[in-house]
Amino acid sequence: MKSQQAEVSIPLQPPGRGATPAADPDRLPRDYVVWSLFNVLLGYGLAYLGCLCFPALVFSIKARDCKVLGDLEGARRHGARAKVLNIICSILMVLIVVAIIVVIIVMSTTT
């Protein structure tokens, strides 16, 4: 009688890491809720810019809801809108902070 040897395959990569994120179409979309919440809270501290950042939070929450319900295409669409709005709000906040610093420096050197 011949002994049967079981063939064992050892994966070279951990599970779930086989494909690059850009090449994996089934990857869960991002919702950017934390970034949106940060922008809204910081925006209200900076000259009520939070009202401009509020739509990013709305789209982030919509993206999270779509992801929970299994609508990945809707989640990608709302997540992409939230990302663009968050980028715009972040840039505006940085510009406002830089402008405030410049005004403070100019006012302190002229007195």
Residue 87 lies in a domain: yes
**pLDDT tens-digit readout, 23-39:** 455 688 999 999 999 99
Phi, psi (rounded to 5 degrees) for 63: -65, -40
Residue 61 belongs to some domain of the structure: yes
Inside any domain, residue 24: no
SS3 58: helix
Q: State pTM to two decimals.
A: 0.71
Q: Is residue 101 part of a domain?
A: yes
pLDDT digits (tens, 9 = 90+) for 49-58: 777 889 999 9
- To which H or E segment does residue 102 belong? helix 72-110
Structure tokens at 65: 């809801």
Q: 50 and 86 in contact (C-beta within 8 Å)?
A: no
Structural domain contains residue 5? no
Whether residue 17 is contained in a domain is answered as no
The encoded tokens of residue 79 equal 């997540």
What are the helix and strand counts (H, E) for the chain? 3, 0
Domain for residue 69, yes or no? yes
Whole domain around residue 80: which residue ranges? 33-110
Domain total in the chain = 1
Residue 9 lies in a domain: no
